[in-house]
Structure formats: C-alpha cells, structure tokens
Amino acid sequence: MELERHEYDVVVVGAGGAGLRAAIEAHESGARVAVVCKSLLGKAHTVMAEGGIAAAMANLYPEDNWRVHFRDTMRGGTMLNPWRMAQLHAQEAPDRVRELEDWGALFDRTADGLISQRDFGGHRFARLAHVGDRTGLELIRTLQQRTVALGIDVYMECTVTRLLTDDAGITGAFGYWRESGRFIAWEAPSVVLATGGIGKSYKVTSNSWEYTGDGHSLALQAGATLVNMEFVQFHPTGMVWPPSVRGILVTESVRGDGGILKNSAGNRFMFDYIPDFFRKETAESEAEADRWYDDKKNNRRPPELLPRDEVARAINSEVKAGRGTPHGGVFLDIASRRSPEYIRKRLPSMYHQFKELAEVDITSEPMEVGPTCHYVMGGVEVDPDNAAARVPGLFAAGEVAGGMHGSNRLGGNSLSDLLVFGRRAGLAAAEHALKRMGRVELADDALADAGRAALAPFEREGGENPYTVQHDLQQTMHDLVGIIRTAPEMEQALARIAALKERVANLSVEGHRQYNPGWHLALDLPHMLIVSECIARAALERQESRGGHTRDDFPASDAEWAKTNLICTPTGDGGVAVRHQPLPQMPPELAEIFEETA
Ligand SMILES: Cc1cc2nc3c(=O)[nH]c(=O)nc-3n(C[C@H](O)[C@H](O)[C@H](O)COP(=O)(O)OP(=O)(O)OC[C@H]3O[C@@H](n4cnc5c(N)ncnc54)[C@H](O)[C@@H]3O)c2cc1C
C-alpha cells in the first residue's frame, strides 16, 4: 500500500477555532505540530459564527463578572454541566478575547473605545464581543494568520479516517488526501480532536457538509467515551424558504438587536411560553419587554431572548397548532422596530442573506424562520482541566468535546469554549508528547487494515449508492429523533439505524480515487450512523424533558435525572451502550453563587 508518512509530537484534527487555538498553544509549548482539516484552511464552521464570543469583560455593565457568566451557563445547561468546565470557561474567556485582540482581531467598539458587547439569550448582561454579524470570520482570520506566521504545518483537504493506538494509548492517525485519494499517516503520541459537530445527520441543519461527527466516532472507536449525546440544539431561527436554503442560520443577534417573533395571527406569542424557571427575569408584557432595550439593567428581558430550547419548542408548538407561516415557520420582524440604517449596520450578513437567497428585504419585511439542527452539546468526555479523553494521548476541544454546555448551550458560549479549551488541550497535548521517552510506532497491520477499510467501497459491485443511505438517515433523525421525542419513535429510529448499518456495509462507489465525493461520503457514513445511534440511545434512556431534549411521553424535568449524565461507551462490535454517571459535586463556594441576585 502506497503511504505518505510523517512524524510529529501533536497532530490536531480540525482547523476551526478549537483546532487552531490548540495548535498555536502546542507549538508555543515547544511541540512539533501538524493541523489536518477536511476542507480548505479557514473554511471551518467557526468562520460561519455570526453573533459573537461570550466573555464577562464588563465593558457595558460593570456588574458583570465571571460568577454571573458561570451562573448563566449552568442555568442554561440546567445544571448538568460539569461545574469545573463552566468555571474555567467563565474565568478565562475574557483573557482569550483580549489575547485575540493582541493578535490583531478588530472588534466593534463602544463609544468609549472598549470592545463592544451585545445581548444574547440566557446571558444576564450584554457580553458577546463581536464584529458586526461576522465574528467567526475575524476569529478565524486572526488564528489562521498566527498559525501560518508560526510556521505550523497544515494538511488541508485531508480527511482522517482512523486514530491509531497501542496498549499505551495514541500512536497517530490515518487518512487520505481528498484531491488525489492517496493515503497518509501521522505518527504522534498526542492527537487533539477538534472536528466540530454532527448536524449532517439531520435533514434540516445550519451545519455544512463537513459536520458528519467524525471526531465523535473516531474517539469512540479508539476507546474513549461520549457524554450528553441526547442533547442536540435546535436553533429556533433557521431559514424556511425557499427549500434550497432551508436550515441556514438566522443569527440570534436579530432578536438581541430588537427583532420579535409573531405567528400568522400577528400575535407576539413568546409571552405565552415563559417557563417558571425564567419567569423572574422575563418581561410579561410588550411595554415591559420594550423598556428593556432602553435600560437593560433594571428591566426584565424580552421573552424572545429565553434560551434557545425554549424558543424552538414555542415555535414548534405554534406551527403545530396551525398558526405558522405559509412555509411552516413563524415571522421574525425587525423591520417594524429598527431603522433600515441600523439593520444594515448591525446585521449586514443577514440583510444580504435574505436579499440574495430569499428575495426578502429585512429592512422592510419580516423573515420566515423555523428551528434548525445547529449544535451538539454531547461529545467526547474530557477532563475539565486538560481536555484529556479516556485514552492516553487523546484530547478533545470545541464542539466535539462534551459536557461544558450541559443540556443546552447559550449563544456565544461556543466561541469562548473553543478558545478556552482549545488552549488547554494544546498545552496538555504538548506536555503529554514531550514527556514521553522515544518514538511511538505505527503498526503495519493497523495501517494496512485502515487502508483496506477505506478502499472497500471500490471493491464491491452493485451495492447501494451512499447518497440514498444518507438521505434515509437524515429523514430518520428528522422524523424520529428531532425536537420532540417519544419512546416508540426512538425505538423505530434505532431499528432503522441498525438496518442502515447493514446497508452501509454493502455500499459501493464508482470511479477512481481522485476527488470522488461519493467515496468520501461512503467513508463519512459510518461516523454519521454511530453518532445517530448514540443520540437515539441516550435520548431513549433519559426519561424526562430537559434543555435540548424534549420527550412528549415525559414532558416534565425530573429531579432524579438532574443528578446523572449519560455516557456512551463502545461495545467492541461496532455498537454503543449507555450508562449512568453521577454528576460531580459542586463545591459550596460555587454553589452559593446561585443565591446571588446580581
Ligand atoms: C451558522 C452558524 C453560526 C454560529 N454562530 C455562533 C456564534 O455567534 N457564537 C458562538 O459561540 N457559536 C456560534 N456557532 C457555533 C460555533 O460556530 C461552532 O460550534 C464552533 O465554531 C465549532 O468550532 P470547532 O473549532 O469546534 O469546530 P469547527 O469550526 O466546526 O471546525 C471543525 C474542523 O474539523 C475538520 N474536520 C472534521 N472532520 C474531520 C476529519 N475527519 N478529518 C480532518 N478534519 C476534519 C473540519 O474540516 C474543520 O476544519 C455558529 C454555528 C453556525 C453553523
């Protein structure tokens, strides 16, 4: 088998914010580092992030601090978040934003010249550092420039298909160049997974083609565990029309900057969906909600800024009750509330997105929006302090890592998460590699096996087309493991996933190895299936509703379930099992933060 081989201390899989931040830190710690990414450098999901980076910098509200951010994050996650992750995240996010500025990022400013911060759902104070609605672009531009300036090796358009291990842990990774189809292996004692999300398992999603859950699946295959996989975030506002753009994100900044939701009868329906948990801080009348925009300190927040799961469920209910728009969404209106100049300045991407894709002018007309699969709270179970997975030498950061956001992520908390834990993962991965004596060895039989598995779809004749299987999986997850779930539907989903696994084992692809998207999809599909199985199994097991997991047959949250996380472990035969794991006990000095009223 022809194979290109390289040797490094740390291999980072993924070049989004988490991967690049990890690579920079590992390099600065003295390690030889490679970054591998499926698409072009700079084209990760992070670049699509619009709203901003959550960090308690107190630029607009001096009362803001890490304790309030910690509390907001834990409450948003309904207290399932490992407290230590949420604590480190809230404490370190402001430094990570300032560091980006030192490295050349240009954030929007306040009148006093400080970094401007905007409002998002679930955050007590305006705390999202932003660049218009193109924050991710600036974040990636800055990290990418630094990565290149530091001379870190980047392998782009290169997909990792397998992690390699021996009895002592990680030994490297195996993959292929997408353009030529040639194989490549990296020998390294540390691998950082930073592969992002899983949205492509669903039919309607804000995620792009890359998000097939590779890192989640690679980690499981290597013997690591996944946590919280039942919690998938359906962002309340994706585009619903025309069909070709269904699912594309409509940033929460529209609501943060004054946009309101209305049903087909013209009612501002979110007032009917305020849960008791958030009643104290949520406005109960239009007048009170509107006052909040003038004086955010003393007035209660508009109900449109409740956490995403609450808003997505409310929209779902309105549409189901027959009060939806002609294309099955609800109206999001900023035109009647803000001037065209304000909208074009604050939301330039949204203005162009709707103008070009839907022929809607958002400065004069409402948008049609509905829920879209956006983010997975579940991911690789890691040590909060060093991002280490259960396999020695394996680390995970960013969306592929689980736990940090509990049952539901607050907007803006992903970009801060990937900076905080990307840095920590890079540091720990370098330390792990540099303290090792001698080289790791890549076993020839493991490399040959990885190569054979990758080429198998070419060997079979007359098998099924990968696109048909992908379509059926996405439909299954959309219909049976979506926003609202029931036991019989999830059992049906698991049966269909088992059948899809058999069909995947029989896929065949035509043509040659040079840039062959059908072959690429055939290699992604096993990842998508195992991730979907984890979501369905964990969702079936959790018999309550909480955050991004709503059971029609168990509509209430249950105090007993608040004490446990669900962990997916590999069974060794390509399947997964789910076990319960009690939450770590929060120390009293953090528990008392929930009594504070700031
Ligand atoms: C439209 C949109 C808007 C968003 N807005 C915000 C926001 O305003 N604020 C916020 O906090 N969050 C936002 N999010 C969420 C946030 O952008 C993502 O959660 C975050 O960027 C994930 O970063 P990451 O570094 O973990 O992974 P990503 O940026 O997703 O990068 C993953 C990388 O892994 C690579 N990869 C994947 N599989 C493989 C493989 N097998 N081999 C090699 N490489 C691989 C990909 O090529 C890519 O380079 C938004 C998300 C979307 C989709």
Q: Whose CA is nearest to atom 18 of ligand 1?
A: 46
CA angle 190, 195, 201 (to 5 degrees): 140
Hey, whose CA ends up nearest to atom 5 of ligand 1? Answer: 49
Cα(44) to ligand 1 centroid in Å equals: 5
Q: How far apart are CA 261 and CA 441, in angstroms?
A: 58
Is residue 66 within 8 A of residue 90, CB to CB? The reply is yes
Task: Please tell me the residue having the least CA distance from ligand 1 atom 3.
Answer: 49
Model confidence pLDDT, tens digit, residues 258-281: 999 999 999 999 999 998 878 988
* Confidence band for 461, pLDDT divided at 50, 70 and 90: confident
Q: Which pTM does this prediction carry?
A: 0.93
Whether the Cβ atoms of residue 134 and residue 50 lie closer than 8 Å to each other: yes
Q: Give the pLDDT band of residue 597 (cuts 50, 70, 90).
A: low
Q: Find residue 155's DSSP bridge partners.
A: 36
What is the rounded average pLDDT for all residues in the chain?
95
Ligand 1 centre to CA of 590 (Å) is 30
pLDDT confidence of residue 486: 96
C-alpha distance from residue 30 to each of 295, 439, 549, 570 (Å):
49, 16, 42, 34
Q: Which atom of ligand 1 is nearest to the CA of 52?
A: 8
User: Pocket of ligand 1, candidates 195, 209, 416: which has the most ligand atoms within 8 Å of its Cβ, to mutate?
Assistant: 195
Report whether 566 contacts 552 (CB < 8 A): no
Distance 194 CA to ligand 1 centre (A): 8
- Residue ranges of the chain assigned to CATH 3.90.700.10: 235-372
Q: What is the DSSP letter of 249?
A: B
Backbone φ and ψ of 272, nearest 5°: -85, 0
**Can you tell me which atom of ligand 1 is nearest the CA of 211?**
37
What tokens appear for 256 in the block?
Answer: 């943060």
Whether the pLDDT of residue 492 is over 80: the answer is yes
Tell which CATH classification among 3.40.605.10, 3.65.10.10, 1.20.58.100, 1.10.10.10 matches the domain 457-582: 1.20.58.100
Residue nearest to atom 47 of ligand 1 (CA): 38
pLDDT bracket for residue 50 (50, 70, 90):
confident
**Residue 437 pLDDT level (bands cut at 50, 70, 90):** confident
Q: The tokens of 279 are what?
A: 């009643």
The more confidently predicted of residues 176 and 257 is 176
The CA distance from 59 to 109, in Å, is 10
Ligand 1 centroid from CA 16, angstroms: 6
Taking the centre of ligand 1 as the mean of its atom positions, its distance from the CA of residue 420, in whole angstroms, is 15
CATH 1.20.58.100 domain span(s) along the chain: 457-582
Nearest atom in ligand 1 to 416's CA: 11
pLDDT score of 472 more than 60: yes
Task: Give the residue, by CA position, lying nearest to ligand 1 atom 13.
Answer: 49
As a whole number of angstroms, the distance between CA 259 and CA 210 comes to 31
CA–centroid distance, 197 to ligand 1, in Å, is: 7
Residue 298 C-alpha to ligand 1 middle, in angstroms? 35
User: Is CATH 3.50.50.60 the right assignment for the domain spanning 3-233+375-434?
Assistant: yes
Overall size of the chain counted in residues: 598
Residue nearest to atom 21 of ligand 1 (CA): 46
C-alpha–C-alpha distance, residues 105 and 136, integer Å: 11
Residue 240 has pLDDT above 90, yes or no: yes
Report the percent of the chain where pLDDT is more than 90: 89
Question: How far apart, in whole angstroms, are the C-alpha atoms of residue 236 and residue 252?
Answer: 9
Task: For residue 375, give the ligand 1 atom closest to its CA.
Answer: 19
Instruction: Report the pocket of ligand 1 as residue ranges, CB < 6 Å.
Output: 13-19, 36-39, 44-46, 48-52, 135-136, 159-160, 194-196, 206-207, 210, 214, 249, 375, 398-400, 411-415, 418
SS3 229: coil
Nearest residue (by CA) to ligand 1, atom 4, is 49
Q: List alpha helices for 128-252, DSSP H.
A: 135-149, 214-222
CB 396 within 8 A of CB 380: yes
CA distance 130 to 412: 9
Question: For position 309, what pLDDT does the model report?
Answer: 86
**508 pLDDT higher than 90:** yes
Q: State the average pLDDT over residues 238-247.
A: 93
Residues of the chain with CATH 3.50.50.60: 3-233+375-434
CA–centroid distance, residue 504 to ligand 1 (Å) = 26
Q: How far apart are CA 383 and CA 380, in angstroms?
A: 10
Give the span between the Cα atoms of 79 and 562, in whole angstroms: 7
Instruction: Report the atom number in ligand 1 closest to the C-alpha of 414.
Output: 11
Q: Of ligand 1's atoms, which has the minimum distance to the CA of residue 199? A: 53
Which residues have a catalytic role annotated? 235, 255
- C-alpha–C-alpha distance, residues 287 and 274, integer Å: 16
Q: pLDDT tens digits, residue range 320-367?
A: 899 999 999 999 999 999 999 999 998 999 999 999 999 999 999 999
> 139 — phi, psi (to 5°)?
-65, -50
Of ligand 1's listed atoms, the one at least distance from the Cα of 159 is: 42
Determine which residue's CA is closest to atom 31 belonging to ligand 1.
16
- H or E element, residue 532: helix 517-541
Answer whether residue 598 shows pLDDT above 80: no
Q: Give the mutation target among 118, 144, 415 for probing the ligand 1 site: most ligand atoms within 8 A of CB.
A: 415
HSE-up of 184 (CA within 13 Å, CB side)?
Answer: 21
Within 10 angstroms of residue 255's Cβ, the number of other Cβ atoms is 27
Identify the architecture of domain 235-372 in CATH: Alpha-Beta Complex (3.90)
Strand bridging mode 169-177 / 153-156: unpaired
If phi > 0 it is left, if psi is from -120 to 50 it is alpha, else beta; for residue 89 that is alpha
**Residue 473 structure tokens:** 């999986």
